[in-house]
Chains A and B, each alone.
Chain A
Amino acid sequence: MATKTLRVDYLTRVEGEGALELDIADGAVAGVRLAIFEPPRFFEALLRGRAGTEAPDITARICGICPVAYQMSAVHAIENAYGITLDAPLRALRRLLYCGEWIESHALHVVMLHAPDFLGFPDAISMAAAHGDVVRRGLALKKAGNSLLRLLGGREIHPINVRVGGFYRAPTPAELAPLAPVMAAAREDALALARFVAGFSFPSFSRDYEFVALRHPTDYPMNEGRVVSNRGLDIAVADYDSAFAEHHVAHSTALQSVLRARGNYCVGPLARFNLNFDRLSPTVQALAAELGIAQGCANPFQSIVVRALELVYACEEAERLIAGYEPPAAPAASVVPRAGVGVAATEAPRGLLYHRYELDAEGTILAARIVPPTSQNQATIEDDLRLIATRDLALAESELRDHCEQAIRNYDPCISCSTHFLRLEVRRR
């Protein structure tokens, strides 16, 4: 019996440190493990004993790509515990900040990390020689997103201006106004990018996923909504733990999350898009129709198109929020700590991000739980890989490897922000 081992030690274009192991025995895929071996970071433990008001700044440090997502879930969870409701101008500012993160994160992934897969380049640097205009567009979009983070968050990475109750400082209309033309130009870049990536050749692959995302009565979801799925799930965020469970698998230091009733599920842009198409703006809906995916999308390789559509939406939404900006009466509501439990889920660029805190009467955190999108998608990524590897088993190993890597990147996994390589090992027996 022939045995082969294929190993890729440094796969770039994935955030975090992990490995993929494929076991192939007697010509069939016998096992798939998305192994996350990066040491646990103990954020939930180190939050214990800290003030609830510190949670947004501490958890922002979890990720350099999506710190706003961690801040937003944390701050809304603490506000939930303290019974704080934000007024409309503060809600709008929080949404505008999230638009900035979606823009910079999606631009990074669509152009710099994922597009090279479809255009046949090993990385964005090689791609830039042939597609300089696309890379320039991506960088311009990223810069536009960063400009929102810088103004509203105080700086581009790990923003420091969000506080329980609102913000430390709200921008003046005069400070916000120059960003309107920046967002208009970004929207044009995003439109061109969406049309460009929709022209890629996509592997024929789709699955009957259970998509899970937030759903809001009027808005495309970012900071608020119920947790819904395409198989009838429709719960308040407070009931998250009754519907979902995390469990440990031996090959991963990240917990895997499942629906208690039905198992694996999928969060992220595809889930948001499929569950909230009617909440997108008319122009983005029309663009989706033009690009042929208005009826829904269950091909994870086309997630790049959906991310590009969300880029257009986020730019447009930022323009709308800037145009309608009314400074809040105060940058923050008053905060009175009280004992209790606070929960929140928001839509990180990569999908649903759930936080839960237990606080004592002084506002000290007694327990914290954070369920990031990548751990929720982990088992679904393994399912995709099992199907793709089975389908492509007859291909040369380099092609099999490329397809598997690309399938992982469909999910823009943010395994962690501390290092960035993934080792792919194929064992043939």
Chain B
Amino acid sequence: MSTRALVIGLGNPDRGDDAVGLIVARRIAALGIPGVAVREAGGDMLALLDHWAEAERVVLIDAAAPLTRPGRIHRLDPSFGPLPRDLALGSTHAFGLADAVELARTLGRLPAGMVIFAIEAARFDHGAALSAPVAQAAREAAAMIADALMEERADA
């Protein structure tokens, strides 16, 4: 079956709330929605450009810097413009998610239907579990994304 949508969870599993993108992706993978592929990614944001070529519709989930309220979910559509820098969707390496999005846009490789869920974190402690508000947000984001993907399937 061809990939209709690609869900990519970003983060480090061992740095507290930074794992939220991975946990949301795993929840969606467990649902086994037909036509939906799920990937996990870590440090190399430039490699995302290759993954994005695999599907027309791409959903990314990443942790964001604490800005207003831990657990707040920001739904971002990069087709409207660059990602807000204050969410610090960065990377431990030279290129972060915001850079990868802009590079893809410049090269004409930005998928037509891309949406990014950025979840405000509370802490990035080594070896810590998700904080309570971010764990709750992970459940909400997974349900929200799964509903949308299944709705699209019904429409297809």
Give A contacts to B, CB under 8 Å.
12-15, 64-65, 108, 112-113, 123-125, 128-129, 132, 135-136, 139, 142-143, 146, 156-157, 417-420
Contacts and interface: CB of A to CB of B under 8 A. Distances in A.
A139 B49 contact: yes
Contacts of B99: 123, 125
B103 interface: yes
Contact of A418 (B47, B92, B103): B92
B42 A157 contact: yes
Nearest to A113: B94
A30 B23 CA distance: 53
B103 A125 contact: yes
Interface in B80-103: 92-95, 99, 102-103
B103 A135 contact: yes
A146 B93 contact: no
B43 A125 contact: no
Given A128-B107, A129-B106, A64 B46 contact: no
Nearest to B103: A125
Contacts of A146: 44, 47
A338 B99 CA distance: 49
Among A125, A139, A417, A420, residue most surrounded by chain B Cβ atoms (within 10 Å): A125
Contacts of B94: 12-15, 108, 112-113, 420
B44 A157 contact: yes
Given A143-B47, A143-B50, A64 B93 contact: yes
A136 B50 CA distance: 11
Given A15-B93, A420-B94, A64 B43 contact: yes
B107 to A, nearest CB: 6
B92 A125 contact: no
Interface string B26-60: 00000000000000001110110110000000000
B40 to A, nearest CB: 11
B106 A142 contact: no
B105 to A, nearest CB: 9
Nearest to A104: B44
A64 B46 CA distance: 13
B44 A128 contact: no
A135 B47 CA distance: 13
Contacts of B44: 64, 146, 156-157
B106 A125 contact: yes
Contact of A128 (B50, B92, B103): B103
Contacts of A156: 44, 47
10 contacts: A14-B94, A15-B93, A112-B95, A125-B102, A125-B103, A132-B106, A136-B107, A139-B46, A142-B47, A419-B92
A420 B93 CA distance: 7
B95 A157 contact: no
A193 to B, nearest CB: 16
A135 B103 CA distance: 9
